[in-house]
A and B are shown apart, each in its own frame.
Chain A
Amino acid sequence: MNADFSADEIAFQEEVREFLKKEFPADLKAKVDANIRLSKDDMVRWQKILFARGWAAPTWPEEYGGTGWNHTQRHIFATEMGLYGAPEPIPFGMKMVAPVIMAYGSEEQKQKFLPDILASNVWWCQGYSEPNAGSDLASLKTSAVREGDHYVVNGAKTWNTLGQYADWIFCLVRTDNTVKKQEGISFLLIDMKTPGITVKPIVLIDGFPEVNEVFFDDVKVPAENLIGEENKGWTYAKVLLTHERTNIAGVARGKRRLIALRKLAQETQDGVGGAMIDNASFKKRLAEVEIELQALEYSELRTLAALSVGKAPGPESSILKIVGTELAQRMDEMFVELAGYNSLPYVPEQFEEDFDGEYLGPGTTAAAALTYFNNRKLSIFGGSNEIQRNIISKAVLGL
């Protein structure tokens, strides 16, 4: 048993590092380091750089323009990206809808949609949750009624992340009311420009409209936008959810934040002549977080090793989701603790790119509380941590 990389893998790691140093734009790096939100244009620019290098889709097979990397290479790539602060591509197209299209879409659908996802020409968003269908997703009510060569869609989707930027939305819709709730759901792709669609922003507690409600009012969708068979959408969606839960541990991002936390602790005065890094209680808790991160990292590597020998990603990925998100939230608390009074001013403009005023508080401390607030979402979305614990108790422990 060993966790060492081979010589080839080490060479690959070097290659990724070199690439990031050279190609991740300095202005974006500066924004990431200063906690400034990346714009849609920033994201697309970076994704197109990855595309040009042939690295846009580490998880795709080569036949669709993916890298064809094995699990270890993907891990190395994701780790280096996370450590450097380079954002992963927006997942909705690349990691969510694309695998479903590949697995269940028609040849026409693959040709129509996959190249534009790969090249970041089209921005996708997700239409799953509804006001009354959250953790109980299968109870969704948005309906699609077949009329000749199209469906007529009516209903409302919510918690739609960054839908304000989106060109297309993939939706779970109800096509049969008469059967068990999971068996009457279909998977539909919808052009956001179709008449009858309204996007209403939802402002979150950090003040940013990160998510939306999307309303469908007699929206006509060509029948050719149905993925696979009618009423099989739930099966397809479950495949997608498994993909959503891989690489969710965020170990590399965690390591990067731990470095930032330690740096901030060195810079933060304790009020009695020293620095917070020497505060015994803080130091102990920082060590606890670092230890937890190692336990998480090796849990992820174990999952990776299992995948490498051909095992399917199982319910163990729920562990990574739970521990990864809760650890990130613990670090949020420690950033707030260090920032103290400096985390209290609410000046959202200073996290936008055109801000030219005077910063309140040193460095990025003013972002600490807002990040703490925003990241409470981590344990709610992507299948809440309660749902993940249900999965473990049912699927793993057989309870």
Chain B
Amino acid sequence: MDFSYTEVQQMLQDQVQKFVQKSYDFDTRNEIVASEAGYSKEFWQLFAELGWLAVPFSEQDGGLGGSAVDLMVMMEEFGKAMLVEPYTATAVLGGSLIANLSDGDQKETLIGSIIGGEVQLACAYVEPQSRFNPLNIETSATVQGDSISLSGTKIAVENGGNADKLIVIARESGAATGLDGLSAFLVDASANGVKLTAYTSVDGRKAAQVQLDNVQLSAGDRVGAAGAAGEALLQAIDKATVGVCAEAVGALESLLAKTVEYSKTRKQFGTPIGSFQALQHRMADMFIECQLARSIVMMAAMTLDSQEDAVEKTKAVSAAKSRIGKAIRAVGQEAIQIHGGIGMTEELDVGHLFKRVTALDIQFGDGEYHTERYASL
């Protein structure tokens, strides 16, 4: 048993911490959120140079090993600073799909350009009726001779507006919510029949809704074999879920630290509010929540890295997301409450952290969904 970080993990953590301290304060983040792209292209290039975009990929694919623990170490620091760069969409979700499904030149070229920071991806799988079930896909892919026609509606496409390529998951065959029959396609956002409505999320990230109306593709646009993308999709989502859990742990740690700090300086009734036992116990509970959240994410990351059994992996991921969902509500709401009115303002970072963790709770399925998924396995 060894819970210490490897040298590489320690270095990753140091690097991200230094970058955030030097270049990614709250004001800078707000400027990036307000910009048209909603992320910094300059920082994205820096991430490429520092090797961060290679973290999710195996050495065989040209990456740094693809360990979930590495990803966790890095994304926790992203979470503390509420980084808005589309790391999950492009490098983790998009990257894993490509790594799991693609091969040959297509794979080499795409992964090379992800790691090099030259391409932005967005994974379009969520649909209006699918709620949190990633296999509930009605978007259809119909083969007509040499061409394939895509039609359907996708929502919550993170990074959709910035993506050079959308990875669209569509059904070629099989039952409505079945694992078999799903294929992944690379689609240009500018292609005929694609209508993309980009928006900013409540937590400052960019996303889009995408309408696909008889979009014409060729077989070469399919990633991997026809109808065989289901398993890869689930694996990519599980890995990305561990990433956002780690992000949430970082954000919750920030909320706790800021709340404790504020309670020491904010005086009412002639004394710091942190001297009131009623508040001390609640902050102690916030600390407990943060610790349990951290523990279960470590469990999930280690399970993904070492466990062979697919069901055990999935259970570990759902356990983490379920428990994190609880921590998100408890710590997020208490942080606002203990700050009082000032915590309700757009001016303070606490409210933004609260919004970020609320969005992270929803992303890839909320706590309730993952508790049920865990119970069903």
Interface residues of A (CB under 8 A from B): 129, 132, 134-136, 139, 158-159, 202-205, 207, 211, 268-273, 276, 281-282, 329, 333, 336-337, 340-347, 358, 360-362, 369-370, 372-373, 376-377, 379-381, 384-386, 389
CB-CB under 8 A from B156, the residues of chain A are: 341, 344
Cβ-defined partner of B199 (8 Å) among A271, A282, A346: A346
Q: Pull 18 A–B residue pairs with CB atoms less than 8 Å apart, ordered by A.
A: A158-B341, A202-B345, A205-B345, A205-B351, A268-B131, A271-B132, A272-B133, A329-B333, A337-B366, A337-B368, A342-B155, A344-B203, A369-B359, A373-B355, A376-B344, A380-B340, A380-B344, A384-B337
B114 to chain A, nearest CB (A): 24
- Given A202-B345, A340-B366, A380-B344, CB of A271 within 8 Å of CB of B355: no
Which stretch (B122-130, B141-149, B225-233) binds chain A? B122-130
CB-CB under 8 A from A341, the residues of chain B are: 126, 155-156, 362
- Given A134-B341, A384-B340, CB of A372 within 8 Å of CB of B358: yes
Complex Cα distance, B347 from A384, in Å, reads 21
B334-377 vs A, Cβ < 8 Å mask (1 yes, 0 no): 00110011011111000110110011001000101001100000
B194 to chain A, nearest CB (A): 16
B263-275 vs A, Cβ < 8 Å mask (1 yes, 0 no): 0000111100000
Cβ-defined partner of A205 (8 Å) among B131, B132, B354, B366: B354
Whether A345 contacts B341 by the Cβ 8 Å rule is: no
B136, B267, B344, B371: which has the most chain A beta carbons within 10 Å? B344
- Given A205-B354, A347-B199, CB of A136 within 8 Å of CB of B155: no
A-B CB pair tally, cutoff 8 Å? 129
- Given A340-B362, A341-B362, A344-B156, CB of A134 within 8 Å of CB of B133: no
- Say whether B177 faces chain A, with CB atoms less than 8 Å apart: yes
Whether B362 contacts A344 by the Cβ 8 Å rule is: yes
- Say whether B1 faces chain A, with CB atoms less than 8 Å apart: no
Determine the interface band of chain B, counting residues with CB < 8 A from chain A. Answer: 35 or more
Complex Cα distance, B33 from A346, in Å, reads 12
CB-CB under 8 A from A204, the residues of chain B are: 344-346, 351
Whether B340 contacts A135 by the Cβ 8 Å rule is: yes
- Given A204-B344, A204-B346, CB of A340 within 8 Å of CB of B131: yes
- Say whether B23 faces chain A, with CB atoms less than 8 Å apart: no
Given known contacts A134-B340, A341-B156, A377-B341, what 8 new A-B pairs fall within 8 Å (CB)?
A135-B340, A337-B366, A342-B155, A343-B202, A346-B202, A361-B155, A376-B344, A380-B336
- Say whether B200 faces chain A, with CB atoms less than 8 Å apart: yes
A321 to chain B, nearest CB (A): 14
CB-CB under 8 A from A337, the residues of chain B are: 366, 368
- Say whether B107 faces chain A, with CB atoms less than 8 Å apart: no
Whether B199 contacts A203 by the Cβ 8 Å rule is: no
Whether B199 contacts A377 by the Cβ 8 Å rule is: no
B242-257 vs A, Cβ < 8 Å mask (1 yes, 0 no): 0000000000000000
CB-CB under 8 A from A268, the residues of chain B are: 131
- Given A134-B268, A204-B346, CB of A159 within 8 Å of CB of B362: no
CB-CB under 8 A from B132, the residues of chain A are: 271, 340
Complex Cα distance, B369 from A281, in Å, reads 10
Complex Cα distance, B176 from A202, in Å, reads 48
A349 to chain B, nearest CB (A): 11
Whether B136 contacts A272 by the Cβ 8 Å rule is: yes
CB-CB under 8 A from B155, the residues of chain A are: 341-342, 361
- Say whether B207 faces chain A, with CB atoms less than 8 Å apart: yes
Whether B341 contacts A381 by the Cβ 8 Å rule is: yes
Whether B201 contacts A373 by the Cβ 8 Å rule is: no
- Given A269-B129, A337-B368, CB of A376 within 8 Å of CB of B333: yes
Whether B202 contacts A370 by the Cβ 8 Å rule is: yes
Whether A282 contacts B345 by the Cβ 8 Å rule is: no
- Given A345-B207, A386-B278, CB of A362 within 8 Å of CB of B368: no
- Given A205-B344, A373-B202, A384-B340, CB of A270 within 8 Å of CB of B128: no
B189-207 vs A, Cβ < 8 Å mask (1 yes, 0 no): 0000000010111110001
For A339, the closest partner residue in chain B by CB is: B362
A130 to chain B, nearest CB (A): 11
- Given A344-B362, A373-B354, CB of A380 within 8 Å of CB of B268: no
Whether B341 contacts A369 by the Cβ 8 Å rule is: no
B369 to chain A, nearest CB (A): 8
For A347, the closest partner residue in chain B by CB is: B199
For B129, the closest partner residue in chain A by CB is: A269
Whether B136 contacts A139 by the Cβ 8 Å rule is: no
- Say whether B209 faces chain A, with CB atoms less than 8 Å apart: yes
CB-CB under 8 A from A369, the residues of chain B are: 202, 355, 358-359
B27 to chain A, nearest CB (A): 15
Complex Cα distance, B347 from A203, in Å, reads 7
Whether B345 contacts A136 by the Cβ 8 Å rule is: no
CB-CB under 8 A from A336, the residues of chain B are: 358, 362
B197, B337, B362: which has the most chain A beta carbons within 10 Å? B362
Whether B278 contacts A389 by the Cβ 8 Å rule is: yes
CB-CB under 8 A from B340, the residues of chain A are: 134-135, 380, 384
A296 to chain B, nearest CB (A): 20
B24 to chain A, nearest CB (A): 21
Whether A358 contacts B128 by the Cβ 8 Å rule is: no
Complex Cα distance, B255 from A99, in Å, reads 41
Whether A269 contacts B345 by the Cβ 8 Å rule is: no
Whether B329 contacts A333 by the Cβ 8 Å rule is: yes
B61 to chain A, nearest CB (A): 30
Whether B346 contacts A380 by the Cβ 8 Å rule is: no
Complex Cα distance, B201 from A340, in Å, reads 13
B319 to chain A, nearest CB (A): 16
CB-CB under 8 A from A276, the residues of chain B are: 131
For B132, the closest partner residue in chain A by CB is: A271
Complex Cα distance, B202 from A340, in Å, reads 13
Whether A377 contacts B329 by the Cβ 8 Å rule is: no
B373 to chain A, nearest CB (A): 11
Complex Cα distance, B277 from A389, in Å, reads 13
Complex Cα distance, B129 from A386, in Å, reads 41
B129, B156, B340: which has the most chain A beta carbons within 10 Å? B340
CB-CB under 8 A from A134, the residues of chain B are: 268, 340-341
For A136, the closest partner residue in chain B by CB is: B268
Within 8 A of A (CB), among B194-224: 197, 199-203, 207, 209
CB-CB under 8 A from B200, the residues of chain A are: 345-346
